[in-house]
Structures are given as structure tokens and as C-alpha cells.
């Protein structure tokens, strides 16, 4: 139990800071944000209580309610209290001694959080988005646990910059015309929300539609978009094969950019094939879980490989299949009129799923001409290697 005089001191010292309202009060266990390994643990380690709002004078009842909640939290071991006044200011107090300190997220503090660099998602201007995707804590801090993820998300946003800048430059003279984005197998749609926030900060109009076959992630994405006021984002339950017709209606036109982040195994091939068939001017694809060619190569004679050991050892065969899968995707995109860059978007020591295929159609406004696709040479090469990639089959079927 916290001593009564400490709790009285907390109320007496904090109350003057709350005279002009507050956004939320956060009660947490010491170091809870750093020690929480998942969302469930974080929920157990903190409580969040909405305030009357920024700039709203609280009633006596509202003050009494928040301090009653503070007392209960402190006696339950949640002694780290933060009263978020607005996006830049917060009052922090340890309930065990009741002495508050006012923290301001000024430029110096923001740059410290950003590691001394300017980043697309700043803690002082994109805090709501960072909290929504689980990087920033409710009290406005970014814990050591999430600092690496914060850097990775910003790095990915910068890798996407050449794509959206190129698309923005090619828009009609009407600057209000949005960039239309289709996010395939969107999952939790973190990239969608990051793109939406970055383009909002840059003043570039966006219309985005995400599809996934899972009801729960689509519902969660819809809720997140509504909570963030991002009415330019929509989500639907659909497979990649079903996506194009619904997307044309949702986006009010064909997509300028197709995104597929961690679409598993041949789902990446379906996404790439759809982008090619629609003649999408740009594609961002992060493949993962490359199983298809590994299974095919397992039945090949080692003598058929460039180096027999590539097929004799399972570990080497898996790595070879991964590289071959993405190399053939690059070749097929190029054969269908795309310029492709292969980019490492997360250092390999953090994840093996670190290849970003960034593609731009060489003639973005020309109609799709399948007669100009140069698939024959790639098909012959695949036959020599003893593999039959899904992407090649999908394009040949067209």
C-alpha cells in the first residue's frame, strides 16, 4: 500500500497541471513498457483513462474520478503515472513520492527519440499513428523494446519514398488527384497506415484499399482507420484473385501502386501477376515463406544444379530456392516491362524476410500489351533448372 500522505501530495501537486484539461492518464508498473514482450503483457502492466480533452476545463467530478483511479492503480503496484496534456507535454509522477515533473517533447527531445536523425514519422507529429500500430506507449514514450521497430518502420517508409514521389510527380495537373494504392494480403496493414501518415505529412493525396482473406485483421484495420480519422483508407475481405474488380470501385480507378508486404509463398506471385495484368505503374513487394521452388528442387538430381552441393544439403537448397524464386520474379517483371530494384529493407541479422522488390513500369501510361512480354527465354531457363514457378504459369495463362 502507498502511504496516504504520498497520495495526498500527488493530488495536490498534479491538480494545477490539469486545470486546462488532459488527453489521457496512464498508470503503469515501473519499467512496464520496457519489460512487456507482447500486447497482453502490456495491457496487464498499465491502465489508460481518457481525459476530458485538451484545453477542456475539467469538472470537480472528473478530477475526483481520475485521482480515485490513480489511488487504486498505485495501490495495485502501478506507481508510474503520466498525465498526457497534449502531444507535446506530459506530467510524470511516481505515486510513491508524489513529486511531478513536466516533460516537453520539444525539438531536442524529439531528435533524441529519433536517434539524432530526421525521420518521416516524428514522435511529436505522428504520435497517434505510432500508438495505433503499437510502437509508442500510451504515455507518449517509445520504450527500448520498440525503439528498433520504430527505426525499421521509418527506414521502410524512406525506401518507399522514391516510389510515391515518382507517382506524385506523374499525377495530373490537378494536385488533388490522389495516388491510388491497393494493398494485397494486407494483414494488419501496418505499411498502409505508415504510407497514409507519411503522405499526409507531405501533403500528398492518397486513396488506399486493402484486402485480406481474414475477417479479424480486416475488422481490426477498419477500426484502426476509423480511430485515426483516416477515411481515405478502406478494407475488405477478399482473396488476391478477387481483389481487382472490388478495388477498381473502392479506389475509383485503377491502382497506381500495388503493395504486397509478406504475402506468403505463391501469394507474392499472385500479387505480382495482378500488378502486371493491371499495368500498375508501381509495385512494392516483400516476399516471404518461399516454399514452392524448394519443394520442386528437392526432387532434382544434384547434377542438374550449377553446383551439386546446392541440392545435396537441405540448408543450401533452401537458400538457393529463396534466391532463385526472387531472381525469377525480377526477370519476369523485367520481361513484362518493369524496371526493378532489389533492396535490403531490414538488416539480415534481424530477419531473413528482408528483400524488397521495388518495381516501376517503364511506360506507365501505355496500355498493357501482352504480345510484348518476353517470357519464352525465361520459360526455357526454368525448364533447364527443373522448376515451374507460379508467376510464370500465371503470366503464360494470360
pLDDT along the chain (398 residues), means of 10: 84 93 92 46 72 94 95 93 92 90 89 88 91 90 87 91 92 76 93 94 94 95 96 94 85 93 90 95 91 91 88 92 95 97 68 81 91 95 93 92
User: In 10 A of CB 289, how many CB atoms?
Assistant: 14
Residues 278-281: contacts with CB within 8 Å, 24+ apart?
278/244, 278/254, 278/368, 279/254, 279/361, 279/364, 279/366, 279/367, 279/368, 280/182, 280/254, 280/255, 280/256, 280/361, 281/167, 281/170, 281/256, 281/257, 281/360, 281/361, 281/364, 281/365
For residue 377, with 0-12 CB atoms within 10 Å meaning exposed, 13-18 middle and 19 or more buried, which class applies? exposed
Query: How is residue 196 written as a grid cell?
Result: 497514409
- Say how far apart CA 220 and CA 216 lie, in whole Å: 6
Number of H helices, E strands in the chain: 16, 12
pLDDT at position 249:
86
Which of the 8 DSSP states describes residue 239?
A: -
Q: Of all helices (H) and strands (E), which one includes residue 211?
A: strand 206-212
Query: How is residue 210 written as a grid cell?
Result: 486493402
Residue matched to cell numbers 531472381: 327
* CB burial string 155-183: b at 16+ within 10 A, e below: ebbebbeebbeebbeeeeeeeeebbbbbb
For residue 22, with 0-12 CB atoms within 10 Å meaning exposed, 13-18 middle and 19 or more buried, which class applies? buried
191 close to 183: Cβ distance less than 8 angstroms:
yes
Per-residue CA distances from 231 to 52, 179, 256, 265, 271 (Å): 25, 15, 19, 31, 25
pLDDT at position 285:
94
Per-residue CA distances from 105 to 100, 122, 133 (Å): 16, 11, 20
Q: Which of 325, 302, 329 is nearest to 313 (CA)?
A: 302
Work out the angle at residue 73's Cα, subtended by the Cα atoms of residues 69 and 75, and round it to the nearest 5 degrees.
120
- Say how far apart CA 242 and CA 263 lie, in whole Å: 15
- Say how far apart CA 89 and CA 359 lie, in whole Å: 42
pLDDT at position 3:
83
Per-residue CA distances from 284 to 20, 87, 260, 272, 341 (Å): 45, 32, 6, 9, 10
Q: Which of 365, 300, 293 is nearest to 329 (CA)?
A: 293
- Say how far apart CA 354 and CA 345 lie, in whole Å: 5
Which of the 8 DSSP states describes residue 122?
A: -
β-pair type (101-104, 80-84): unpaired
C-alpha 174, offset from chain centre: 29
pLDDT at position 31:
65
- Say how far apart CA 379 and CA 184 lie, in whole Å: 26
Amino acid at each position: 500500500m502507498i502511504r496516504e500522505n504520498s497520495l495526498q501530495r500527488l493530488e495536490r501537486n498534479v491538480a494545477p497541471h490539469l486545470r486546462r484539461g488532459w488527453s489521457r492518464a496512464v498508470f503503469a508498473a515501473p519499467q512496464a513498457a520496457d519489460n512487456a514482450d507482447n500486447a497482453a503483457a502490456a495491457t496487464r502492466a498499465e491502465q489508460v483513462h481518457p481525459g476530458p480533452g485538451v484545453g477542456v476545463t475539467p469538472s470537480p467530478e472528473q478530477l475526483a474520478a481520475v485521482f480515485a483511479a490513480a489511488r487504486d492503480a498505485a495501490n495495485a503496484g502501478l506507481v508510474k503515472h503520466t498525465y498526457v496534456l497534449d502531444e507535446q507535454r506530459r506530467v510524470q509522477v511516481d505515486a510513491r513520492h508524489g513529486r511531478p515533473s513536466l516533460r516537453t517533447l520539444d525539438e531536442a527531445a524529439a531528435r533524441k527519440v529519433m536517434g539524432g536523425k530526421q525521420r518521416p514519422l516524428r514522435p511529436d507529429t505522428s504520435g497517434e499513428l505510432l500508438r495505433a500500430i503499437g510502437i509508442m506507449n500510451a504515455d507518449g514514450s517509445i520504450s527500448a523494446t520498440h525503439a528498433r521497430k520504430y527505426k525499421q518502420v521509418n527506414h521502410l517508409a524512406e525506401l518507399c519514398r522514391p516510389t510515391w514521389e515518382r507517382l506524385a510527380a506523374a499525377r495530373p495537373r490537378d494536385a488533388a488527384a490522389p495516388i491510388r494504392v491497393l494493398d494485397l494480403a494486407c494483414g494488419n496493414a501496418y505499411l498502409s497506415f505508415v504510407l497514409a501518415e507519411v503522405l499526409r505529412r507531405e501533403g500528398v493525396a492518397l486513396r488506399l484499399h486493402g484486402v485480406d482473406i481474414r475477417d479479424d485483421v480486416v475488422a481490426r484495420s477498419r477500426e484502426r482507420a476509423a480511430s485515426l480519422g483516416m477515411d481515405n483508407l478502406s478494407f475488405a475481405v477478399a482473396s488476391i484473385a478477387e481483389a481487382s474488380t472490388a478495388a477498381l470501385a473502392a479506389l475509383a480507378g485503377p491502382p497506381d501502386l500495388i503493395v504486397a508486404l509478406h504475402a506468403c509463398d505463391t501469394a507474392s506471385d499472385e500479387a505480382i501477376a495482378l500488378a502486371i495484368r493491371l499495368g500498375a505503374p508501381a509495385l512494392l513487394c516483400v516476399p516471404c515463406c518461399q516454399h514452392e521452388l524448394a519443394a520442386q528442387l528437392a526432387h532434382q538430381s544434384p547434377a542438374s544444379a550449377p553446383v551439386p552441393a546446392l541440392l545435396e544439403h537441405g540448408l543450401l537448397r533452401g537458400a538457393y530456392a529463396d534466391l532463385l524464386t526472387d531472381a525469377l520474379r525480377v526477370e519476369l517483371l523485367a520481361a513484362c516491362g518493369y524496371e526493378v530494384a532489389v533492396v535490403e529493407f531490414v538488416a539480415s541479422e534481424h530477419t531473413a524476410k528482408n528483400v524488397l522488390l521495388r518495381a516501376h513500369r517503364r511506360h506507365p501510361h501505355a496500355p498493357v500489351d501482352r504480345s510484348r512480354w518476353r517470357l519464352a527465354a525465361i520459360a526455357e531457363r526454368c525448364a533447364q533448372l527443373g522448376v515451374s514457378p507460379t508467376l510464370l504459369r500465371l503470366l503464360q495463362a494470360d
